[in-house]
Homo-oligomer: A and B are copies of this chain.
């Protein structure tokens, strides 16, 4: 099982989200989508309530430039979001609520945040993301507010903690953790070997 662990507020997760499906398909590997929340993990591990890229401005400046270059390299649309990081709690629940459509819905939400500079904490933006991905927005938004979905997102975040996650995105194969979108190829090779 090839798991893709991501956070909708994370810019490197955007690059991974748009690359993971075609790369895995080419290798004959099936992707399991695992949205989680990085906020609580950063709070616990770093004692911060913001992105490390904001807390460390020199590093942050580089990361934005790096993202620009990566999007050019992989021919991905890119617009630097006017708000970073965006609140991603509802977005993550909506993705989980999409069931088998979680792949297209995930890409659609990431594109809203990082290619269109839209506020992915706004239910109207999320409705449109679900719709464009061919899902049922009424159903997804209603389900996203249910206790079951809220619990599922908390469980995902707990599982990420247990896996030793400290950032996003990650790829996990049988407990073996690969951190960073630049480890996608290594993770796929690992999945094919095991």
- The interface of chain A, by Cβ under 8 A from chain B, is 45-46, 56, 58-59, 61-62, 65-66, 69, 73, 164-167, 177-180, 182-183, 186
Contact = CB atoms under 8 A, between A and B. Distances in A.
A149 to B, nearest CB: 27
Contact of A46 (B56, B165, B182): B56
21 contacts: A45-B56, A45-B58, A45-B59, A46-B56, A56-B166, A58-B164, A58-B165, A58-B166, A59-B166, A59-B167, A61-B164, A62-B166, A62-B177, A62-B179, A65-B177, A66-B179, A66-B183, A69-B186, A180-B182, A182-B182, A182-B183
A162 B164 CA distance: 34
A166 B58 CA distance: 7
Taken together, the copies of this chain in the complex come to 2
A167 B53 CA distance: 13
Contacts of A177: 62, 65
Given A62-B177, A180-B182, 20 more contacts: A45-B58, A45-B59, A46-B56, A56-B166, A58-B164, A58-B165, A58-B166, A59-B166, A59-B167, A62-B164, A62-B166, A62-B179, A65-B177, A66-B178, A66-B179, A66-B183, A69-B186, A73-B186, A182-B182, A182-B183
Contacts of A62: 164, 166, 177, 179
A177 to B, nearest CB: 6
Contacts of A59: 45, 166-167
A59 B45 CA distance: 9
